[in-house]
Amino acid sequence: MNQQELRRKVMSAFEPLRPARSDTYVDCSSVRGDWNILTELGSRIVDSEEFTCQLFSGYKGSGKSTELIRCLNDYLKDQGFLVVYFAADNGDLEPGDVQYADILLSCVTNLLKAVPPTTAQQDHPLMGWVQKNWEWMQQFIPEKLTLEEVKVEANLGFGKLIATLKNNPDRRLEIRRKVNEQTPNLLQALNEFIAQAQANLPAAQERGIVLIVDNLDRVLSTEDEKQQNWRDIYINRSVLMRGLHCHVIYTVDVALVYSNTESELRERYGSSLVLPMVTVHYLDGQVNRAGIDILRQLVQKRIAAIDPQLVANMDGAVPDSGQPAIFASPEILDNLCLMCGGRMRTLMHLMQDSLKYNGSELTISEKSMRRALQEISNRYDNELDDHQWATLAQIALLSDKTTVPNNSEIYKLLRSGHLLEYRYYQDQLSTWRDVHPLITMSRRFKEARDKLGGHS
């Protein structure tokens, strides 16, 4: 592999847009304040005699989907469950305009895909429902389909209905009205179908189905004028949301978990779980070596996935190894890990940027690392409004960062990743929030802080 090919490989190994692959996944629970998705979400499912329905939340780019896909999925499979995972914004739903009926239909098609009925089961309960409702369903399907054709492939009818729902905004209202009218019996048919499917699962999956609906937080707009929408789904329809006869995990926007709806949500779903950042520094600002080391491991695994031989030269070329170094010195990666604030997506961006600013070299130099940090921090100057800079500066100057208030302004900053939330467990749990370290490098942040009289 020549140097340019190798650089391209490194670049794509840190592609920030997809959850980590299984060979590059690193368990970060020890440095997320002992937040372990297995123990928290997983054990509720494993230990429960009844079907559970839980909400899961986290900040943009913190590794939410990775934890759901990698950690929880694998764990539950080992425990004897069939995990049906789907990302709500990936295909079926038209984000920004989603209502309960859409979610229900989406669950139906994804379950049908995951546990397809055999030909012998052509008359399964969902098919029965389609038969009863075919007359109106047909009106919303552009192609000419006969009931016989639909019977052969169970998902066809629902799939087409969802396609119309997604692609034809004019007809959405009508479809939803129809589905809403039929919700109780559709839910009942779905539950009968789930019961049948669970009864026929192989021994390795005998504990039943776990349905994970990821990215639901993204498709449901949380803007003020649409608040009614998610309220309607999570609160008003909670009986239906919780009404599936299998374990369910829905993702939910962080802003809701921390809003005044929190108690209403807790009443209905138990306490929602929020994934914190990797603790790269302690509450008092001291660097947490363990956090940095975990992130180093994360980088190392991605490098090893390209070529295991590269790992020996991670922090400087070993003489005569014939392999180039990835970083010119160990401090460079330490810095990147610290400055990403424990936020996974930022670390990926920083790795890519360090390469970009490195001319045609592979080995990331101190200079290109500094350039990457500076250019990313400059970008924040464009992103925030005046009052937000003031808020961030105030938080940075707080002597006790566990006292950052809960208000809509703070959630907005948490949601956008400008403020980060950490948990640390030693004797007791502390949760605190701090300004993203890259922001503290930016010009406008320094101005705002100096205005408040802080020169730390």
Partner 1 sequence: MLLEFTEELPPLTNEEVYQVFANTLDLITGFSILFLQCSPAEANQLIPRVQQDLPGRKMGVLELGEPINNLYRLVEARADRASLNVLFIRGLENSLKNDIKPGYQGLGDYYNLNTVPPILSHLNQQRENFRDHFGNICFVFVLPRFAIRYFVRRAPDFYDWNSGVFKIENLSIENSITISIPTETWYQKIFSHFSGLRPKSKDLKPVQDDSFIAFFTKGNSLFNLGRYEEAIESYDRAISFKHDKHEAWYNRGNSLDNLGRYEDAIASYDRVIAINPNNGSTWHNKGGTYFKLGKYPESISCYDQRIALQPDRYNSWHDKGLVQFVTSDYQAALASWQQAFNYISDPAVPRYYEDISGLIQEFIEELIPRFTQPPIHQTLLIPLLKIYQQANVITELGTALINTLHLIVAPAISDHTAAEWLALWRTSSLGNEPAMELPLRLMSTAIEYKKDPSKRQSLWLNLPSEERPILNKALKIQ
Stretch that binds partner 1, among 201-209, 228-236, 346-354, 395-403 (CB under 8 A): 346-354
Query: Based on C-alpha coordinates, what's the Rg of the chain?
Result: 25
DSSP assignments along 88-102, one per residue: TTTTTS-TTS--HHH
- The three state secondary structure string of 23-49 is HHCCCCHHHCCCCCHHHHHHHHHHHCC
Handedness of CA 282, 287, 290, 295 (dihedral sign): positive
Q: Least separation, in Å, of the C-beta of 334 and partner 1?
A: 6
Question: Which CB, 60 or 176, lies closer to partner 1?
Answer: 60
Contact letters for partner 1, residues 358-387 (x by CB under 8 A): -xx-----xx--xx-xxx---x--xx-xx-
DSSP string, 341-356: TT-HHHHHHHHHHHHH
Q: By C-alpha distance, which of 66, 10, 1 is closest to 333?
A: 10
Q: Return the number of the residue (115 or 439) whose C-beta is nearest partner 1.
A: 439
Q: Which of residues 135 and 170 has its CB atom nearest to partner 1 in the complex?
A: 170
User: Whole-angstrom Cα distance, residue 73 to residue 83?
Assistant: 6
Q: Per the structure block, which two tokens stand in for 183? A: 């919700």
In the region spanning residues 422 to 441, those forming contacts with partner 1, defined by CB under 8 A, are: 441
Please report whether residue 286 would count as binding partner 1 according to CB under 8 A: no
123 vs 383 by CB, closer to partner 1: 383
Residue with tokens 């009218």: 181
Work out whether 21 is an interface residue with partner 1 (CB under 8 A). Answer: no
Q: Which C-beta is closer to partner 1: that of 101 or that of 339? A: 339
Sequence-separated (6 or more) residues with CB below 8 Å from residue 380: 418, 438, 439, 442, 444, 445
Q: Does 330 bind partner 1 (CB under 8 A)?
A: yes
Sort strands 53-58 and 273-275 into parallel, antiparallel or unpaired.
parallel
In whole angstroms, give the CA distance from residue 288 to residue 338.
9
Other beta carbons within 10 Å of 137: 24
According to the binding rule CB under 8 A, does residue 61 interact with partner 1? yes
Q: Which residue in 34, 227, 345, 425 binds partner 1 (CB under 8 A)?
A: 345
x-or-dash string of contact with partner 1, 110-149, rule CB under 8 A = ----------------------------------------
Nearer to partner 1, 4 or 402 (CB): 4
The site map against partner 1 for 382-421 (x = CB under 8 A) is xx-xx-----------------------------xx----
Provide, rounded to whole angstroms, the least separation between the CB of residue 284 and partner 1: 16
DSSP-assigned letter for residue 311: G
Query: Where on the chain is the footprint of partner 1 (CB under 8 A)?
Result: 4, 7-8, 11-12, 15-18, 60-61, 87, 89-91, 94-96, 215, 218-219, 223-225, 287, 330-332, 334-335, 338, 345, 349, 352-353, 355-357, 359-360, 366-367, 370-371, 373-375, 379, 382-383, 385-386, 416-417, 441
